[in-house]
Amino acid sequence: MNNDRLILITNPGSSSRKYALYRGSNFLCALHFEFEGDKIVYTLKKADGTKNKTETKFTTLNEVVSGLEKILVDEQYIGGPTKLDAILARVAAPGSYFAEDHIVDEECLAQLETAKARAPLHAPVIANEIEQLKKTFKETTVIAISDSGFHNSRPELMKAYAIDTEVANKYDIKRWGYHGLSVGSIARYMREQDILEEKMIVCHVGSGSSITAVYNGKSHDTTMGYTPLEGVMMATRTGSMDVAAALAIKRELGLKTDDELEKYLNKQGGLLGVSGQSDDMREIIRLRDEGDSRGVFAHALYIYRLQSAIGQMAASLGGVDALVFTATIGERSDDVRRRVVQKLGYLGFTIDEAKNTGDMNERQCNIAAVGSKPIYVIKTDESDEMIVRANDLLNKI
């Protein structure tokens, strides 16, 4: 890796905007924009590990990208209009094209345009990020890094729907899987730390959530499918449901188009739909503690879906040696970890409550009780994984 290159990373999520700046493979800083109540705040993480939180005047996450350059100048990471050497963008979109990484060119932009209708929560956001960043940092090469690529190692069985094989192949209707950069970063870190187990279940629990079975450091199976809608219950996504039930929603609510239905399932379901009040796990826990009946039910359903998916992945692997929690809820919420693991005694997992604290200073900790198989809480590092993955393409520009 050429260590002189200044590289900006954009990793838009369904409830956040995450950016990072690297000099070659050296981390300079990360910016994590998220809602706190109705305010958007950002946490700046510096290379020495220190963190600062700042309140912003942004009212929507889509505005953040246009204010990014000024924040990087104010925080003294760049000195004004800057020539970056590359921008890396995390792309979560279905299709074999997006199961690989690409230098963004006309074809890639056209593919993204098509993907907008297929993955309404992610593709339009990343398309907007790329468009805005190309305007701000003119003539910078953008590289689209696939969020599915890590899952290419899965056996064909785990990629397939039970549909006509010719249709599946002709139209690319497969279970692509997502959160590959996150789970890939966890597997690489565990290998480096010499704590990688043969059969692991990695629970990426954030605004979007998925459970991945990892066999010898490679993806073996995962709960997300053609789009990031399949699988467990999420902040605003329903997760898996019967297509006939989805079509009943379309009929009963008088939704006019398939697009409206897809948006409904992606944005009006999950914690938000079931509680009727909030998509934020912090708020759901508060509602549950107050005894709000829909809050109680939303929390219980969320936990049940995670427990079921962990059982499904254990079956897929034929056993499990270690459990990992990652992503914002997995890393920050001792409550969610406690409730999920409460039912996993049958797989050999018990939490040591004294170790299951909310705030982690280290990247990794093992919260398992004596006699339990390891239960790790590990901070995900999608940016670092993007830098590693982009190396070959970076050498071509």
Ligand X SMILES: Nc1ncnc2c1ncn2[C@@H]1O[C@H](COP(=O)(O)OP(=O)(O)O)[C@@H](O)[C@H]1O
Ligand Y SMILES: CC(=O)OP(=O)(O)O
Interface positions, 141-170, toward ligand Y (CB under 6 A):
147
- Is 90 a known ligand-binding residue? yes
Geometric angle at alpha carbon 395, from 112 and 190, rounded to 5°: 80
178 touches, from ligand X, Mg ion, ligand Y, none (C-beta below 5 to 8 Å by class): ligand Y
Q: Encoding tokens for residue 154?
A: 């899965």
Kindly state the number of chain residues that form the binding site for ligand Y, as judged by CB under 6 A: 11
Count of residues for the chain? 397
Geometric angle at alpha carbon 61, from 28 and 6, rounded to 5°: 25
> What are the φ/ψ torsions at residue 205 (nearest 5 degrees)?
-115, 105
**Could you give the CA distance from residue 298 to residue 206 in angstroms, rounded to a whole number?**
15
Question: Least distance (Å) from ligand Y to the CB of residue 91?
Answer: 10
Residue 380 and residue 326 in contact, taking contact as beta carbons nearer than 8 Å: yes
Catalytic residue of the set 85, 147, 221, 335: 147
The secondary structure element, H or E, covering residue 112 is: helix 106-118
Question: Least distance (Å) from ligand X to the CB of residue 101?
Answer: 20
Q: Does 270 bind ligand Y (CB under 6 A)?
A: no
Identify which of residues 13 and 95 has a Cβ nearer to ligand X in the complex.
13
- Is 372 a known ligand-binding residue? no
Catalytic annotation present for 147: yes
Residue choice 333, 356, 372, 383 for contact with ligand X (CB under 6 A) = 333
Q: Does 184 bind ligand Y (CB under 6 A)?
A: no
Q: Does 225 bind ligand Y (CB under 6 A)?
A: no
Residue 214 and residue 266 in contact, taking contact as beta carbons nearer than 8 Å: no
- Is 205 a known ligand-binding residue? yes
Reduce the DSSP state of residue 378 to 3 states and report it: strand
Amino acid at 344: L
Interface positions, 4-63, toward Mg ion (CB under 5 A):
13
**Could you give the CA distance from residue 14 to residue 271 in angstroms, rounded to a whole number?**
14
Half-sphere exposure of 211 (CA within 13 A, CB side): 25
Reduce the DSSP state of residue 388 to 3 states and report it: helix
Q: Does 206 bind ligand Y (CB under 6 A)?
A: yes
Kindly state the number of chain residues that form the binding site for Mg ion, as judged by CB under 5 A: 1
Q: Does 228 bind ligand Y (CB under 6 A)?
A: yes
Residue choice 120, 208, 225, 239 for contact with ligand X (CB under 6 A) = 208
- Is 207 a known ligand-binding residue? yes
Reduce the DSSP state of residue 310 to 3 states and report it: helix
Question: Least distance (Å) from Mg ion to the CB of residue 13?
Answer: 3
Chain mean position to CA 97? 19
Which residues fall in the annotated binding site for Mg(2+)? 11, 382
> Which residues have a catalytic role annotated?
147
The residues binding ligand Y (CB under 6 A) are 13-14, 92, 122, 147, 178-179, 206-208, 228
The residues binding Mg ion (CB under 5 A) are 13
The residues binding ligand X (CB under 6 A) are 13-16, 206-208, 235, 280-282, 327-329, 332-333
